[in-house]
Structure 1
Amino acid sequence: MRPTIYDVAKESKVSIATVSKVINNSGNMRDSTRQRVKDAMKRLNYRPSMMASALTGKGTETLGLLVPDISNPFFSELARTIEDRAHENGMSVIICSTDYNPEKEAKYLDLLQRKQVDGFIVASTFQDKSLLNELKSNGVPLVMLTHDNVGLNAPSVSVDDFKGGYEATSYLISAGHENIVIIAEHANSSSMRIYGYREAHVAHGLTCSEENIYKTTALVENGRKTFLEIVNKGQTPTAIFACNDLIAIGVIQGAKEIGINVPMQLSVIGFDDTILATTTVPALTTVAQPISDMGRKVVDIIIAEIKGEDLTTESVLFPPELIVRGTTK
């Protein structure tokens, strides 16, 4: 049976109140008494209840992080940075992967609330924003890791997706490409990258064909299939801007499969600059998100909210950076 605070009190021959003071590092007592209680906790392998701490208003020193797909290197690298920054501040992180599924979103929000997490970090567009509005109305600290927070009174941290899309497309146009296909995701971030893609065409005096805009989900296989679909339609783009490194890698695989040389016959640009970008042959040209800076900033904001600071209007927009490697010519 799991030991209780009563067992610790009996083992150390003190009151329950004294044990509670030791757990919460409060109250005045002899050092010898405090050490005796700690020794008893160690002997019994006693772990204080985080739920009990929450009920006393002390908090659980835990954050809830909701990401759409933890297997996506961007979100896994982001989650690691968030976890490291939280650890620096004495906090832990519970990570949940929602798959853009409204049922999972509701389930995990309920689970994390029952676990009394001190605040929420939501790292993507939420399908049902009413759930997040309910959190905010209940005074729960919440930060969005996306600029898609319209109608949601919450601070946000994100990258300038429009600028990233514009710079990637402008670079390709400046390199002499006029027939550029964009393969995007079904996400708000990709919508902003598409706007940048369109605007770059306008700025360079080129017509932007809507037939060159494709959407899929962020999987290597989907990038490969979409590229082969483009080729089978008879389209002959000289460049492809993929709104995700995974999709870009799939495009490279598809091109290799049918004998198209990257970059001599086809230039490819990705987005995110995850660790995978340097593992392709040739290495992937991509638009880098400052993952480490974004992760650290979002934790700093949520901790400030937990401490009672009003940051509902805080909106941090990080600039992207085009990293030129070997998949563009």
Structure 2
Amino acid sequence: MSRHKVSITDIAKKTGLSTTTVSRVINGKGEQYRISEASRKKIMEAVKEMRYVPNIYAANLRTGKSNTVALMVPSLNNPFFASIVSGLNAEIRKYGYITIISDSDENFENEKKELEQLIARNIEGLIIVPTGNQWRHIKELYDQQLPIICVDRYFEELDLPYVATDNYDGAFHATKCLINNGHVSIACIQGVRESTPNRLRVKGFKDALEESGISSYWVVGDDFTIQNGYLETKLLMQQKDRPTAIFALSNTIAMGCMKALKEENIRIPQDVSIITFDEHPYLDFLSTPLSYVAQPVDDIIQIAVKYLFSRMQNKDMNVIKVLLKPQVVIKESIKTLL
């Protein structure tokens, strides 16, 4: 048997007051309309007793507000994006808003379709990690005055707000760390090729090598997944002159690397050194803790949410384009060959 949903009319009948009076008290406007304290108390006691739950959808229709922000990422299976989602959701909650979380599964059509569905739910703002290099559907929403900010991935050529890590800087210095430890035969296992972070990380990797006079290297792979790291490492280890070091462009790629190396009985760092992009707590609990490029995730989250809500409150703000410096953290996964 279905349970009757308590309405404002039910509260009015129980208290003997009008539905208008009940509505004003429930919506926090009792004092504004000079409703007596006794009536306000009576109504709120009835609300508690009858377990009244406001109809959010009806309220949305009246106010035009949903108190909802959408958050779209390419993959919740990726520990980096999962941590971003967790942090953003907690920060958004502080503003009294709820978050609708969407996973595009690194698929442009999914991203486009789910954005349409989110807009139909009257979201008030959008935080997005775009899946690729197609941007028109996002720019159209921004031009229609929907507050939007990109995090991690962004479009350099567009006037769209973003906050991200300086991926070039992180990759350049991570590669220099390998070179400074005597490595000249280095492989880079990349992620989604057309994404801005990947392109900048590969550029930083190449520039560091070329600056050091190293012209021979590997850039392989095409996805930020464990499977990509696993398969590419398997292939690299079959080379006659295999690399002495691997730079994995995400911690998911690094996980695949480690699995492949273990199966081949190749030791870290005695046989192959590894450094990865992205920090994650599990990296310190491995038998050989991995060196990594730590992104300033907390700062990215706070800047993104603060900017988004400023825009949602109709504050006149310039388009922000913020790149934050990462930190290279050296652990036990790099062998010195000098």
- The TM-score by the shorter chain falls in which range? over 0.9
CA contact (8 A) 2:221 2:229 kept: no
Matched, 1:189 2:200: no
Corresponding residue for residue 44 of structure 1:
50
The TM-score with structure 2 as length reference comes to 0.90
Question: What whole-Å deviation, never above 9, does each CA across 1:246-271 have from its counterpart, x for those lacking one?
Answer: 11122122112112110011110111
Question: What whole-Å deviation, never above 9, does each CA across 1:108-164 have from its counterpart, x for those lacking one?
Answer: 212222222211000234564222122112211111103522454331110000001
Paired residue type of 1:234: K
Q: CA deviation at 1:286?
A: 0.5
Aligned with 2:306 (options 297, 300, 310)? 300
Rate the CA distance shift 1:208–1:232 in 2: closer, same or farther, 3 A.
closer
Aligned ranges for residues 253-268 of structure 1 at < 5 Å?
253-268=259-274
Q: CA deviation at 1:58?
A: 5.7
Corresponding residue for residue 5 of structure 2:
2
Question: What whole-Å deviation, never above 9, does each CA across 1:63-100 have from its counterpart, x for those lacking one?
Answer: 11001111211111111111111122222211111112
Q: Distance in 1 between matches of 2:50 and 2:132?
A: 44
Q: CA deviation at 1:208?
A: 4.5
- Structure whose alpha-carbon radius of gyration is higher: 2
Corresponding residue for residue 126 of structure 2:
120
Question: What whole-Å deviation, never above 9, does each CA across 1:175-221 have from its counterpart, x for those lacking one?
Answer: 10001100010132111100000110122122154xx0012322223
Rate the CA distance shift 1:123–1:11 in 2: closer, same or farther, 3 A.
farther
Q: Distance in 1 between matches of 2:158 and 2:13?
A: 50
> Which of 272-281 and 126-135 deviates more?
126-135
Corresponding residue for residue 106 of structure 2:
100
Structure 1 portions without partners, runs of 5+: none
Question: What whole-Å deviation, never above 9, does each CA across 1:221-254 have from its counterpart, x for those lacking one?
Answer: 3212110011224341000000001111221221
Corresponding residue for residue 241 of structure 1:
247
Question: What whole-Å deviation, never above 9, does each CA across 1:275-296 have from its counterpart, x for those lacking one?
Answer: 2322322111110011122112
Paired residue type of 2:258: I
Structure 2 portions without partners, runs of 5+: none
Partner-residue secondary structure (3-state), 2:207: helix
Corresponding residue for residue 204 of structure 1:
212
Rate the CA distance shift 1:70–1:31 in 2: closer, same or farther, 3 A.
farther
Aligned with 1:327 (options 320, 324, 333)? 333
Matched, 1:309 2:312: no
Matched, 1:14 2:50: no
Corresponding residue for residue 138 of structure 1:
144
Corresponding residue for residue 295 of structure 2:
289
> Which of 134-143 and 17-26 deviates more?
17-26
Root mean square deviation, CA, Å: 1.9
Aligned with 2:225 (options 214, 219, 223)? 219
Q: Distance in 2 between matches of 1:86 and 1:223?
A: 34
Aligned length: 327
Partner-residue secondary structure (3-state), 1:185: coil
Corresponding residue for residue 175 of structure 1:
181
Calculate percent identity across the aligned residue pairs.
28
The TM-score with structure 1 as length reference comes to 0.92
Aligned ranges for residues 84-95 of structure 1 at < 5 Å?
84-95=90-101
Q: Distance in 2 between matches of 1:264 and 1:85?
A: 42
Matched, 1:156 2:124: no
Paired residue type of 1:169: T
CA contact (8 A) 1:145 1:158 kept: yes
Partner-residue secondary structure (3-state), 1:322: strand
Q: Distance in 2 between matches of 1:25 and 1:175?
A: 65
